Amino acid sequence: MLRPFLFETVLFLLPFLAYSLYLLLRGRRGFSLGAWERAPLLSLLAASVICVAAGLALFAHYGGAPAGSKYIPAHMEDGKLVQPETR
């Protein structure tokens, strides 16, 4: 459960990190508060929301088992635990 949360957090922070790198390459201090006073925060926030939405859409489309597959939960066979699987 932690991995999807961290993935979406990184996608949210990606535009802000890119802007900070842009500030560093332009010769300004990208991590100081003074450099962020005139930052396009609304544009960065919109780009963050778009990144997160795209990540969620891609995760929903490509993640999980194939359509029509059958889920078999974990169970015991001959005293051993058999891991869950999809067929």
Mean pLDDT of 56-82: 89
From the list 58, 2, 42, the residue with the least C-alpha distance to 16 is: 42
User: In the structure, what pLDDT confidence band is assigned to residue 77 with cuts at 50, 70 and 90?
Assistant: very high
How many angstroms separate the CA atoms of 23 and 28, rounded?
Answer: 5
- The string of pLDDT tens digits covering residues 6-64 is 999 999 999 999 998 888 888 866 667 777 777 899 999 999 999 999 999 998 888 87
CB-based contacts of 31: which residues, under 8 Å, 6+ apart? 20, 24
By DSSP bridging, strand 85-86 and strand 71-72 are antiparallel
22 CB-near residues (< 8 Å, 6+ apart): 30
